Amino acid sequence: MSRFVRAAFACASLAIGLLSTTANARPAYARKEGKECNYCHVNRGGPRNFRGMYYGTHDKSFELFDNQFEAKAAGVAADAVGPDAVPTVASYPTVSVAPALNFIVKDIDGNVVNLGRYQGKVILMVNVASFCGNTPQYASLQKIYDKYKTRGFVILGFPANEFGKQEPGDNKTIKEFCTSKYNVTFPMFSKIVVKGEGIAPLYKYLTDKNTDPKFCGDIDWNFAKFIIDRKGEIAARFKAGADPLKTADITAEIEKQLDIHL
């Protein structure tokens, strides 16, 4: 009889252990990030807030988590914790992102960015370089950004070294160059590959005929430009040499897209 008692006790102990593991598993994410427990939970072992719901659903780590994007999708403040971080959007953590923006990259400082955070804006994506004949376009891009940013326009700059090796520096050097020489304030991202072997998934999507049949083709040089509309669809493409301030078609396309309301 004692054998059955011991077996039952062992099973009960195992069940309690499993329950404890389940209850405490998600706070491990917060500990990894160096946060208090209510960073992911309403309270320890209790219901999860938007961060904990994301991890529980997608089983992803902090490496892929864009707090700004997820907070917006959940309908809460980006700095919310505990009960204040409980989603107000019923469908969360299910988030719909247009294919052209369904990419996770890193900004120039190494922070994770889900490009879905820009969905709903008119976007100009451009591959940039610091030592190119087209580099003065930084000044034109900044002027256009200043002119239209309050209307929902953003420029995303992606440094790349595939053309004449004209972007040899690291991210810190690139950031220092474009901010000190051209006062760039639009979002800049970590150096990536935009053509050939090792091409970044984003630029594979933008240039492949299967995903972008209308505007496909290899990037021609530094400062090639794509315009993404408010729905997250590729609306136009312009060659590298087209200076935004001197090419009427570029500003015309931007204004056209900005005036289209969903």
Under 8 Å between Cβ of 251 and 242: no
Tell whether the torsion through CA atoms of 44, 45, 46 and 51 is positive or negative: positive
**Using CA atoms, how far apart are residues 203 and 205, in angstroms rounded to an integer?**
5
Edge-first strand listing for the sheet containing 153-159: 153-159, 122-128, 225-228, 234-238
**AA identity, residue 250:** I
d(CA 251, CA 255): 6
Strands (E), the chain: 104-106, 112-114, 122-128, 153-159, 225-228, 234-238
Q: Which one, of 200, 234, 213, 195, lies nearest residue 100 by Cα?
A: 234
Q: Kindly report the backbone phi and psi dihedral angles of residue 131, in degrees, each rounded to the nearest multiple of 5, phi listed first.
A: -130, 55
**Distance of CA 53 to CAs 40, 48, 88, 93, Å?**
8, 6, 13, 7
Length, in residues, of the chain: 262
Which amino acid, one-letter code, is at 171? Answer: N
Cβ burial, residue 188 (10 Å; 0-12/13-18/19+): buried
Annotation marks residue 37 as catalytic: no
Tokens of 145: 């950004």
- 37, 40, 132, 178: the catalytic one is 132
Q: Which residues are catalytic?
A: 132
